[in-house]
Amino acid sequence: MTYIEGFVVAVPAANKEAYRQHAATAAPLFLQFGATRLVECWGDDVPDGKINDFKGSVKAKDDEIVLFSWIEFPSRQVRDSAHQKMMADPRMEEMSKTMPFDAMRMIFGGFEVVGDDGATATMGYVDGMVCAVPHDNRAAYEKFSSRNGDLLKEFGATRVVDAWGDDVPVGKITDFQRAVMAQEGEKVVYSWIEWPSREARDAGWARAMSDPRMMEGEMPFDGSRMIHGGFRPILDVQETGHA
């Protein structure tokens, strides 16, 4: 997998099943258009931040839950072709009339994968993260990603993915740049960690935080502006047919 479309959206808590059904209906179309996997994750452990956070990124209301979602594609070219097919497909147009969330506050973008440690598998829990990294620090970030990915797998993660901002539009109301207060010369990075369960994730992070190897070297980005949270998958559709 070399390219992803990443999303963050706020959905009314009462619309959880309606959203899942909406996404489940759209998923086979995305696979038909060239995607290899579509994952939707419902906010479970999404903390308030001192500077910024996932809730603020999509201006979530008190009765809304943040979702962290992505679509995997073999390449940027396949993703662009899929977008063209989506826009021309009457089924997608019909679905857009009944979306169970405010699409105007959704943030999205295309990202080039720079680190993918582990194997795609059915997972029970996801840590989602978005940060801003100076463009000149890309090589340092890739090294950071590889090292931390190896350690997190040692602590129980099954897959760690980091993706570099490539086609990240500026929105009228919300966008990824504002979500992480990206400064001039910085790129948005979209990342996630797959775990077997919430329990495995909690135990894994406890081990990570007590391991001095996690603290070695300097972080190649401003961690105070990173947004993060824990999410429970509600839909995981792959080209193998798993859902």
With beta carbons less than 8 A apart as the criterion, state whether 85 and 36 touch: no
What's the confidence (pLDDT) of residue 86? Answer: 87
Indicate if the pLDDT at residue 127 is higher than 90: yes
Strands 64-73 and 107-118 turn out to be unpaired
Our measurement of the distance from residue 231's CA atom to the centroid of its chain's CA atoms, rounded to an integer in Å, reads 10
Which pTM was predicted? Answer: 0.95
| DSSP code at position 185 | T
pLDDT band of residue 121 (cuts 50, 70, 90) is low
Q: How far is CA 89 from CA 35, 73, 126, 237, in A?
A: 16, 19, 31, 20
What's the confidence (pLDDT) of residue 89? Answer: 85
Indicate if the pLDDT at residue 241 is higher than 50: no
What's the confidence (pLDDT) of residue 19? Answer: 97
How does pLDDT run across 131-146, given as a tens digit for each residue?
A: 999 999 999 999 999 9
Mean pLDDT, residues 68-97:
91
How does pLDDT run across 162-182, given as a tens digit for each residue?
A: 999 999 999 999 999 999 999
How does pLDDT run across 49-70, given as a tens digit for each residue?
A: 999 999 999 999 999 999 999 9
Indicate if the pLDDT at residue 108 is higher than 60: yes
Write down all domains in the chain, each with its CATH number in brackets.
3-238 (3.30.70.100)
Mean pLDDT, residues 200-222:
93
Distance CA(184)–CA(201), nearest Å, equals 34
Distance CA(92)–CA(96), nearest Å, equals 6
Distance CA(23)–CA(243), nearest Å, equals 11
Cα maximum dimension of the chain: 54
Of 5, 104, 120, 6, the C-alpha closest to 58 is 104
